Structure formats: C-alpha cells, structure tokens
Structure 1
Amino acid sequence: MTPYPEEPWHLAGQMYLSLWLVPSRELPPVADGTRPVAIAGRGVVGAAWVVYENDSVLHYNELLRAVLVRDGHRPRVCITDIWVDSAASMAGGRELWGIPKEMADFDIDRTAGVRAGAVTRKDALATAAFEPGRRIPGRWPLTYRVAQTLDGGLKTSSVRSRSTVRTAKARWTAHESGPLRGLGRRPPLLSLALNDFTIRFGDTARAPSPPSAPPAPEACTWNEPTGGG
C-alpha cells in the first residue's frame, strides 16, 4: 500500500477554476444518497486545474470535475472525476475520503497566463488556457463539505480554504472520446484564479474515549454492638 499522510491534509498552491450550468441529462453520476442541485433543469459543474506546492503536505498536480449536490437539504460538493500525478495522493484520496483519483501526466505552463493539459495512458483528458484578470481585494475564505461514496456509504469531509481571487477568462477543450467530453461543448459561465490558497482538507480524527473508571467500592459501615442487661 502506498503511504500517505493522515487527515487532515494541509495544502497550498494555485487553482484555476471554471463553472458551468449543464443540462441535468449530461451530469455525471454523483455520490449515493445525494442529488444534483437543479437550476431550471441544469446542474452546477466545476472543473479546475490545481498545483499543490509551497507548504503542502504533498506536492502534485491535479485536474478535477465536481458537481454541486444536496445531502437532504444540505449543499455539498461531489468530486466525480479527478486525476493526479502523485501515487500517495491517489491512495490517500481513495482510502480516506472515497475520492476516485486516477493517475495522469500533466503539462502546466504558468509563464504567460496559464496553459494546462492532462493525458492518461488511454485518454487525452482536457486542455485549458486561463488569462487572469482583475484581482478582487482581500483574501477570501470558503468552507464546505465534500460528499463521496466510501465503503458503500456516504462520507462527508470538511474543506476550509482561503485565497486571493482574480477574475479570469478561460478556454477549455475536452476530447469527445474522453471522460470529460462535456466540458468543451459550451464556454464557462464563470472562471477564477485562486492564487496562493491554503486548504485544510478532511477532519481531525477523534481521540478514543478514555475507559470508564471502575465503580468505587461501597463503604463498609461498622455498627457498634449494643450491650444487653
């Protein structure tokens, strides 16, 4: 088994994110027990390129697609497709949180804007070009929970992040024979560059409860004998 860090993972780096409204019939399957959030018959889909660097517990590249879902009435994010170039990240994502990570090769060029591509041994996955725009002042916090299927049940995990945010223009292409073929059919509704982010992914394991102390023995009472006459 490939070793990986225990949760939570503390990660940092750069993210290049696009959002779409996609007809419900084109949505990928989501975690058992959840349903896509529907807006006029469309679901919210995000796809992102991520570079984990700086103080990250692991350094690697990532391409993911996710769907906004609900668990009962609670909003969640379900990662439906994801590729990384780290065996430790793949093993940890699958075993800790039920995130279906696969391996891929990446080419990410950040010298002038951002140009990214990813391929597996079987598929050319996607390419994208991002042109970062205006910076939105401040560092923006975001807290949510990821919902995945793990060991036949629903597993939710917390995500807390903070980043600098820039607007962006993005152009995506996805090969029609590949698993992300829907991404290239329409331009993104919104694209952002989340720079110098920090993320805390996962929940702190609860310490086992201390064993109960044995009951104290009952006190013995000595009654003085009464004299008879």
Structure 2
Amino acid sequence: MSIYPPQPWNLVADARVSVWRVPAADLPELPAEPLLVAGHASVFTAWIDYTPPGQLAYHELLAATAVKGRRVSCSISEIWVDSEVSLAGGRELWGIPKDLATLDFTGDRTFTATAATADDWIATAAFRRRGGLPLRVPTVFEVAQLLDGTLLRTPVSAKISPRAAAADWSFNPAGPLGYLSGRRPVTSLELPASQLRFGA
C-alpha cells in the first residue's frame, strides 16, 4: 500500500510567489522546451504552506519555468518539502524531483521563510502584503515532468485569490537556485487559502 494518497490530490495552500525573467542560457535543465520571449523565460518561485482541510499538510519551496504546451504549462526544476509522504508521492506519481529540506515559515502580513538542507542553506525571503481586492479566480495549467523517461503532463486546477506583495529574496549563489542570485523579481503575489486539485 502506498504511503501517499492516490491522485488527484485535493490541497489547500497559502502561497507566496515571485516571477523572474531569466535568460535562456542561465536556465536549469528542463524536460520540456522553455517558453521564451526576447530570449528570456519566466521562472516562478514559491513558498507554499499546505494546510487542513487539504489531504496533506506540509511546507514547500519550488522553482518552475514556463514551458511550451497545449495550455499554460510549467516544469519544476527544483523543489523541497518537509514531508516524506509528499516527496514519495510527487516523485512516483508525477516525476516531480522533490527533495527534503528544513523549511521555516513565520508571520502573516509580513511573512518570512528559510530553506536549508543538512549541508547548506538554499534560500530566504520576506514578503509584505500590499493592497488589493481578494477576488477568487479559477485557473488551469499543466506540470510537465519526466516520469520513467517519458514526458508526463499533469493537469492542475486551482481557485486562487491573488494579492500584490513586495518580496525580498536571497539565494545561496553556490546552491541549486544560484542562477537566481542577484536578480530581482518582476512581480510578487500572495495567494491565501488557495484550493488545488493536482493530478488526474
């Protein structure tokens, strides 16, 4: 018997997201062709706190790049969680390359986060909420990953309430997110109480 729920996973999440413009030459290896505009790709980094009443509760840091597809698509190149259940499910169901890390989140209106492995720190960030109406927006996209050598496109649907935020990030320049070190995000958002359905 699997230690993780069968797909789809129905999750509830508080997320903080930043968007970066990264030259194609600086992108990490991806399983699908990046979607480029003027030689740059959009990279999304997110701190996510999965909470009840969702099926799983854990913390996550990820980086994903917009890639070509039939609909809005991304590929996750780096991702850390503090849940062995999430790690196993992500890898075995969808080919998402999850690793374990220590993830510490604090605060609400001013949110801070740190991620580190036993070997070194990965990233830190601080988000400050800005004004905006909490409109509920449905969205659908795909996550493209390699599973057993085959490109798998996993559907994701979500209901989100995006709110503008200001964010300050620091990345370990020698770490796996070092390609973002020294850059500034194009925009940042808070997505409180998001509802996600991940998988088919």
Tell me if TM exceeds 0.5. yes
- Partner residue in 1 for 2:125: 128
2:22 maps to 1:22: yes
CA contact (8 A) 2:104 2:113 kept: yes
C-alpha offsets along residues 155-182 of structure 1, whole Å, 9 cap, x if unaligned? 1111000122110000000011110112
- Partner residue in 2 for 1:63: 61
- Partner residue in 2 for 1:147: 144
Structure with the bigger RCO (C-alpha within 8 Å, sep 6+) is 2
- TM normalised by structure 1 equals 0.84
CA contact (8 A) 1:2 1:88 kept: no
- Partner residue in 1 for 2:164: 167
Q: 1:136, CA displacement in angstroms?
A: 3.0
The 1:139/1:75 distance shift into structure 2, 3 A limit, reads closer
CA contact (8 A) 2:72 2:140 kept: no
Q: 1:76 aligns with which of 73, 77, 80?
A: 73
Q: Describe the SS at the equivalent of 2:169.
A: strand
Q: 1:183, CA displacement in angstroms?
A: 2.2
2:36 maps to 1:41: no
Q: Describe the SS at the equivalent of 2:87.
A: helix
Q: 2:83 aligns with which of 62, 83, 86?
A: 86
The ranges of structure 1 where at least 4 consecutive aligned residues each deviate by more than 4 angstroms after the TM superposition are: none
Letter in 2 for 1:3: I
The 1:16/1:70 distance shift into structure 2, 3 A limit, reads same
CA contact (8 A) 1:2 1:87 kept: no
CA contact (8 A) 1:136 1:167 kept: no
2:111 maps to 1:114: yes
CA contact (8 A) 1:12 1:198 kept: yes
CA contact (8 A) 1:172 1:183 kept: no
Q: 1:129, CA displacement in angstroms?
A: 0.4
Q: Which runs of 5+ in 2 are unaligned?
A: none
Letter in 2 for 1:187: R
Partner Cα separation in structure 1 for residue 84 and residue 134 of structure 2: 36
Letter in 2 for 1:110: G
Q: 1:76, CA displacement in angstroms?
A: 1.4
- Partner residue in 2 for 1:215: none
Q: Which runs of 5+ in 1 are unaligned?
A: 204-229
Q: 2:181 aligns with which of 176, 179, 184?
A: 184
- Partner residue in 2 for 1:206: none
Q: Describe the SS at the equivalent of 1:176.
A: coil
Please, what is the CA RMSD of the aligned residues?
1.4
CA contact (8 A) 2:63 2:79 kept: yes
- TM normalised by structure 2 equals 0.96
Q: 1:2, CA displacement in angstroms?
A: 6.3
Q: Percent of counterpart pairs with the same letter?
A: 41
